[in-house]
Amino acid sequence: MAEIHDPKANVTRTQLCGVQGQRTATPMPNSRGKSKIKVVKAGSALHRFGAEKKLGKDGCGY
């Protein structure tokens, strides 16, 4: 994970994380693709505003 400070280091553009200015020997996963950010759980803008009909468990857990 050590950063490469030598500009002549043998690192290709895609290995540089696809981000300008960041020079690292560790390539980022999926650096060429569009799936770099993975949503592991969908959210809702209304999630905290009582929009869902829920059984029990409001705040205090009862």
Partner 1 sequence: MYDTLSWSDFRIRIELPTGDVLIKSTLTSAIVTLHRYAEAAITRWVEGNGEKPSFNVDNLAHENIGLLVRREDDEYTAWRNHLIDRRNNAARTFILHFLPTIQCQLECKYCFENGGDRQQGMKPDIMAESRKWLDTYLGNYPEIDTFRLVLFGGEPLLRKDIVAQGVKAFHSLARERKLDFWCELTSNGELLDEPIAAMLSQHEWRRVQITLDGLKDVHNTRRHGKNMRPTFDRIVENIRMLLSTDYIPAVDIRISFDLTNADNVSELIRYLATFGRQDRINLSLGLITSTLGNPNRMGEERLIAQKALLAWQVAKGCGFKVPDEFITGPWCVAIAKHSAVLQPDGALQKCFCTAGREEYNFGTIREQQTKGYLRDPRFEHFRRTDQCVKEKCQYLPMCGGGCIHDAIVAGGGPDGAAQRFCQKTLLKEMNDGLLRLTYGG
Residue ranges in contact with partner 1 by CB under 8 A:
1, 17-22, 24, 26, 28-31, 33-51, 53, 55-62
Nearer to partner 1 among residue 8 and residue 13 (C-beta): 13
Rg of the Cα trace of the chain?
21
> At 16, phi and psi to the nearest 5?
-90, 30
First-to-last C-alpha distance (Å) of the chain:
47
Q: Least separation, in Å, of the C-beta of 7 and partner 1?
A: 18
Nearer to partner 1 among residue 8 and residue 38 (C-beta): 38
